[in-house]
Amino acid sequence: MTAVTLDVARASDPADWLPYLGGIDAVVNCAGVLQDSPRDSTAGVQEGVTALFRACEQAGLRRLVHVSALGVDRHSSTAFARSKLAADEALMACDLDWVILRPSVVIGRAAYGGSALIRGLAAMPILALVPDTGELQIVHLDDLVESVVFFLAPDAPARRVLEIVGPRRWSFEAVIGLFRKWLRLAPARHFPLPRWASMALFRLGDALSLLGWRPPVRSTARLEIAQGSVGDLSEWTRLTGIKPRELATALIAEPASVQERWFARLYFLKPVVFATLSLFWIVTGLIALGGGYQSGKELLREAGLGELAGPGIIAGAILDIAIGGAIAVRAVAAAALYAALGVSVFYALAATILLPRLWHDPLGPTLKVIPIFVLTLVALAILDDR
């Protein structure tokens, strides 16, 4: 098997895809973007997958299974839904043996996006209930995968659009309760989140996406959650013979491991860790340039820097602010965290050599480098989302 990395949003010409279609019997497309951001483009991905469809036609490749999203034909209130529907319509216009699968919220062992959000909410000791949440017919990942495999067969039905949903409707609150039981946690206390507070959270998610992060709580998610995710499974089960797993039964069959309990509990701590580190470095730099400038200058003079004490404080403060700002930007967060580790080690070594008394200072300025160092290692360990 050969793995190829290709930016779908930039592969907008069939020629971009043709070199990879030789010797291929079928294509499965799962590409999609929840919301536009500096890092993602819903229209770009739609153009990329449309180019893939045309490339399959040119290559003489017949079988194509396209994973879309439930409800895109019933509402178009988001760029996500409009781009998905545009890709569906582009595929239906192609001379291919296509199948379009429109799944509801998909749950499996791996967690990302909405499924990760559900686990994170389930681990919270107090559940804030967001207003205006629609019902969900959650489908298990194994059922979706089995469907894809079924339609990859050369003699499988083609030119069908199928809704892939679970057999039962659940409220969002009930789903969180099921996952909390799965994590072996006692029932959580509930309180209704005011509409203004929930809107503020979704706007915060939008702001974070401008920095390159992909939080599941964004304005698109708010609209999709309000619309719910329910459909008709009859045609899907009739054609494939698949009996979809009921959510509660599927969770009982695969008990949560300690790793999944860790993930759920760390889910909402992750942004806190990154925000803490980012603000720590930025604020320490600002303090050094402001009220702490004179005391810092005196320390560096005591260390023997003389006339370089002032410029040293300014240079160090600018470096701290740059590191803090870079930690907040997803594209350079890893590099910034490694820089933070290096600078922390440098500060500790310099203080040990030049000002060893700071180790036993009542306020422990050098000692405090150690927990920051450890928290930075934790941030590096949980940086990846998938």
Which residues contact residue 97 at a Cβ distance below 8 angstroms, ignoring those fewer than 6 apart?
Answer: 62, 63, 64, 158, 159
CB 165 within 8 A of CB 232: yes
- The single-letter DSSP state of residue 256 is P
- Tell me the average pLDDT across 241-262: 95
Residue 76 scores a pLDDT above 80 = no
Question: Cβ–Cβ contacts within 10 Å for residue 270, how many?
Answer: 16
Average pLDDT rounded to a whole number, residues 201-214: 93
What are residue 27's DSSP bridge partners?
64
Across the range 274-296, mean pLDDT stands at: 94
Structure tokens given for 104: 């509801």
Cα 321 to its chain centre, rounded Å, is 26
The model's confidence at residue 303, banded by pLDDT at 50, 70 and 90, is confident
Rounded mean pLDDT of 156-161?
96
Q: Using 50, 70 and 90 to split pLDDT, how confident is the model at 227?
A: confident
Average pLDDT taken over every residue of the chain: 93
The 10 Å Cβ neighbour count of residue 365 is: 14
Report the percent of the chain where pLDDT is more than 70: 100
Q: How far is Cα 207 from Cα 201, in angstroms, rounded to an integer?
A: 10
Cβ-Cβ contacts under 8 Å for 363 (sequence gap 6 or more)? none
